A and B are shown apart, each in its own frame.
Chain A
Amino acid sequence: MSWTFVFVLAGAAYAFKFLGLVVVGGRTLPPALDRCLALIPSALIAAITVANTFGNGQHLQIDARAAGVGVAVVAAWRRLPLIVVIVLGAAATAVVRALT
């Protein structure tokens, strides 16, 4: 890996953050757009969750991660604390992976 790669990636990552929060953000928006923007975390986090659960590059697969995330869903539904949800999810994944 070259240092150029490291710094170009860092520059691009910060540019996106800066563009959204400092350059474009902070303006008064029409209510409908405001309602839509409030939904960004829900839409994107749901997508990242399924990508991290079922995705493997461009392939979809059901493996030990699905079991772990299933356990995490039950734990979240039971309103267990965040760290407990994470530990149960990781532990369930590790156990299923070890058994299969």
Chain B
Amino acid sequence: MSTDDPGDRVRPWHDEKLRGVIAACVTLGFAVGVYGISFGVASIGSGATIAQTCVISLLVFTGASQFSAVGVLADGGTPLAAFGGAAVLAARNGVYGFAMASRLDGGLATRMLAAQWTIDETTAMAAAQDDRRHGQWAFWITGASVYVFWNAGTLIGALIGSAIDPETFGLDAAFPAAFVAMLWPLLRERRHLRAAAVGALVCLVLTPFTPVGVPILCATAGIAMGLREDDDR
């Protein structure tokens, strides 16, 4: 699909811009891994075993859903309530997948693997690149690095159990801080800025009135800002 892209002929290790992208993706994975530790701790706290905690991170692999699920169980919620909130949060990965589909090369097997890695971080890092080739590198490197670090962090956290309190170290702010850094380059385009503003506003307004997870899904309304053809920049 991108055979006419002269960038394809540049060897990856000679591409300074790509090295920057890879460094950013691996750094992000490491940061997510630190947060994976707190998932491991939280999951053990909700009554899961070490094996269950690790299998959740390996198979579910979407942080917000995982935190939501163990959070509801820890608060004494029913498995059905825990599943509902987590599924609503997981639904947005389907929306990400739809957006990423035309931006990734590869056949069915490649796409089935890509699907497992279609999450906030990979979509954001891919979208932050200004050309298709770097976008694909960003997707795969971020996916691999987040997968490795998230699962390693989960195991460490599960083993530590409740020995550390993530909030003492401000780790609950690590996710939004990372998202701010990822979002920032996109917001230079006015259309993205409008979409982000609408998304954030919808989420804030709906939070007191709807179940956890629903406001974030409804924030998808922000994409309507793309209907206008004018003022691209």
Are B83 and A5 in contact (CB-based, < 8 A)?
yes
Q: Which residues of B contact A18 (CB under 8 A)?
A: 97, 112, 115
Q: Which residues of A contact B111 (CB under 8 A)?
A: 21-22, 26
Tell me the smallest distance from the CB of A95 to a CB of chain B, in Å. 8
Given pairs A29-B102, A49-B176, A85-B177, 9 additional interface contacts (CB within 8 A) = A19-B97, A32-B226, A40-B95, A41-B120, A49-B200, A69-B177, A81-B24, A93-B173, A94-B168
Interface residues of B (CB under 8 A from A): 24, 27-28, 30-31, 46-49, 52, 55-56, 59-62, 64-65, 69, 73, 79, 82-83, 86-87, 90-102, 104, 108, 111-112, 114-116, 118, 120, 123-124, 127, 167-184, 186-187, 191-193, 195-200, 202-204, 207-212, 215-216, 219-227, 229
Tell me if A42 is interfacial: C-beta within 8 Å of chain B: yes
Q: How large is the interface on A (under 10, 10 to 19, 20 to 34, 35 or more residues)?
A: 35 or more
- Docked Cα-Cα span, A1 to B64, in Å, equals 18
Are B184 and A43 in contact (CB-based, < 8 A)?
no
Q: Which residues of B contact A24 (CB under 8 A)?
A: 94, 97-98, 101
Give the secondary structure class of B's interface: helix
Are A49 and B179 in contact (CB-based, < 8 A)?
yes
Q: Which residues of B contact A89 (CB under 8 A)?
A: 170, 173-174, 176-178, 180
| Best-surrounded residue of B112, B180, B229 (most CB of chain A within 10 A) | B180
Q: Which 8 A-B pairs have the closest CB atoms?
A: A25-B101, A89-B177, A20-B97, A43-B222, A21-B97, A93-B170, A47-B219, A43-B199
Taking A22-B108, A73-B180, A89-B173 as contacts, is the C-beta distance between A42 and B95 under 8 angstroms?
Answer: no
